Structure 1
Amino acid sequence: MYTEDQLRRRERSRWTKVQIILAPIQFVVFLISFALVLRYLATGEGYLIATISIWIKIALIWALTITGMLWEYDMFDHYFMAKEFFWEDVGNLIAIITHNLYFVAQWMGADSRTVMWVMVFAYVTYLFNAVQFVVRGINSARQRRSLRQAASQM
């Protein structure tokens, strides 16, 4: 997964802590917003609160993307699309583009139900991307534990 140098860089990067804090917040906002969007689609009620939750979710995905790019630079000396982080960046790019389709749909004058369906699609892409990051995080934690264990046995 990571070289020893990259693990040291990861531990030194202030953006690691920012990502660790923002990611779960974004996930909770996603769950709430997804529920509010689905509620609106099912009942026609709660458009304003669903819209506010969408704005918060989009702001958070941008915050995580920007701080993630700074983290990626600390780790791999590339702000985006480092070969070691390529698929995570592709997933994030798809998720952020689909989230921003919200603004395109609004600008084009789409009706409220269409806008909400755009967000359902965006949230599905986010969910796939989130799973990818969770898997990477689990594998990274295993690698760090393994390296600590090997070092303690020396």
Structure 2
Amino acid sequence: MLTYRAVQKLLDSVDCSPWGTACGRTMLHGRTAPGERREPLYTPEQRARRDASKWTLVQGILAPLQFAVFLVSLGLVLNYLATGHGFAAATASIVIKTLLLYTIMVTGSLWEHDVFGKYLFARPFFWEDVFSMLVLALHTLYLVMAAAGIGSPRSQMLVALAAYAAYVVNAAQFVLKLRSARRDSRDLSSAAAEGRGRPGYAQ
């Protein structure tokens, strides 16, 4: 069983990937590399727009819901591949997971427009959006195969597994961005606290 510490180590290893660097975040084991300044994920104006957007709450609800459906569906898919039984249940679960993915993609684009003024590929989330296109393409490929009866049931399930693997990577990207935003909030709070402790600080 993966512990919280093990998951954190896994996320830290991914956080050193080129994705973070390309988005302006040069990280070294969760810390800014020596001699370099980490660019905040949001400007103060973007943070205010994020907090004011109704889509922030929607995303906060849909993301864990989709992950819960993913876990159930993954179990059903693996059960079918292992036993040959439960194809209908596995298929239904993948369809539900894909519909949730479409919903979170559309509402995520609306959120991105509210915060950054672009529906897709805003600079702070550029690589997340790029990888999301792959996730969307694989899920859509599965739907086409299932609806048109293309391939064997097993091959359809393998395509679904490929879509799920891509989804996990994409979810990890967004979790890292959430961690980055939380670090920014802590940094701002610390800076404000230090400022209040200095002589002549104006409230």
* TM-score bracket, shorter-length normalisation: over 0.9
In the alignment, what sits opposite 1:58?
A: 98
One-letter code aligned to 1:147: L
Is 2:112–2:122's contact at 8 Å kept on the other side of the alignment? yes
**Counterpart secondary structure, 1:153:** helix
Larger helix proportion, structure 1 or 2?
A: 1
In the alignment, what sits opposite 2:31?
A: none
Provide the alpha-carbon RMSD of the alignment: 1.1
Deviation at 1:5, TM superposition (A): 1.0
2:162 pairs with one of 121, 136, 145: 121
1:133 aligns with 2:174: yes
In the alignment, what sits opposite 1:72?
A: 112
Is 2:95–2:143's contact at 8 Å kept on the other side of the alignment? no
**Counterpart secondary structure, 2:106:** helix
Aligned residues, how many? 154
Deviation at 1:153, TM superposition (A): 3.4
Q: Percent identity?
A: 46
Alignment gaps of 5+ in structure 2: 1-40, 196-203
Q: Does 2-11 or 128-137 show the bigger shift?
A: 2-11
Q: Distance in 1 between matches of 2:185 and 2:69?
A: 29
1:147 aligns with 2:188: yes
Of structures 1 and 2, the one with the larger relative CO (CA 8 A, separation 6+) is: 1
In the alignment, what sits opposite 1:38?
A: 78
User: Normalised by the size of structure 1, how large is the TM-score?
Assistant: 0.95
Is 2:142–2:156's contact at 8 Å kept on the other side of the alignment? yes
